[in-house]
Structure 1
Amino acid sequence: MLVALLPTFTQAQQTDQTPDQLVAEARSKVQAFGSSLKQALQSAIKEGGLANGIAVCNTVAPEIAAQNSNDGWQISRTSLRVRNPDNTPTDWQEMQLKAMQEHPVKNGKPVEIWRIGNTDTGNGFEYMRAIPTQKLCLGCHGKSIDPGVQAKLNELYPQDQATGFSEGDLRGAFIVTYRPETN
């Protein structure tokens, strides 16, 4: 499901990209970030178990996000139940997450929404794509977490709220923003 809000950029922040081009670029950024993160997690878990995967999420995920954030584009993640308080959603993001919560997947695809114009963080483009909880996620985000894994979570994320999920639940969302350069 794609929902679009279409106010315009201010004159100082015009972009030569159409809304379809912006959405396509956001999807590409999410795909690159998600694929790299999943690969890094699977490799870390294979090498040293789930606790090793948590360490990768803690250090490597921000690095992967930074690699995919350039030329006015920024990628991050958020959730209604964050693991890292730095990923707390804005008011608009929280509203969208609540709307996505009942059906994070529609027609076999994660729900997405976007807007152009005055966003919570300034004028530009903001895109969200639901992250449904996958089987791979349950070892660290599920209802039954190994005590060793829970100890590592407590060490790295003392304010963790991101547990208790079941497969298919809305885990969170990818956030992609674009702020064109001002003239």
Structure 2
Amino acid sequence: MTMEGKQFKGFNMVLLDSRNSRIHAFVPAKCEDEHYMKLKVGNVYSISRFIYQQYKKDFKYQLVRGDYQLMFSNDTNIKKLDATDTEINDNAFDFFDHADLKNLAKQTAYLADVVGIIKIHRGIEDIVNKHGKPQKQAKFTISNGSSNVNLLGQLWSKIPKRYCRG
């Protein structure tokens, strides 16, 4: 049971890969005990033997924009990998035009959350990352109205079109 007294159905995750692709993964309650202690935020894993399934047409509040999700089972294998050999970011964001926020708030297909507004954009630079690969990097300041945070974002040249928003 949950703290609200409802039946626990499982837990959700957003998984990132080295191409900055995101996918929603769901671990049902029947195998939660087996997988929960294996997974820690920020670690890198090889995951196999999962179910790759299309969302039902009436599914609401998807975690990421996409048509599919991963479903874990008791047969799912999770192996922790050495994170020093990967180029997987700790997080990923979608950026939208400020004028689109009203429509985002009205829809129920996807979860929407506003972190802040980009105040200052310092341009895009060509860099070589720690693995010797060329990348583009953007520097900007984001504000929530009361405080500012300077951010450094890495841009990929092969971002799947379904993740390009804004």
TM-score normalized by structure 1?
0.26
Q: Which has the larger radius of gyration?
A: 2
Structure with greater strand share of residues: 2
Bigger relative contact order, structure 1 or 2, given CA contacts below 8 A and separation 6+? 1
TM-score normalized by structure 2?
0.28
Structure with greater helix share of residues: 1
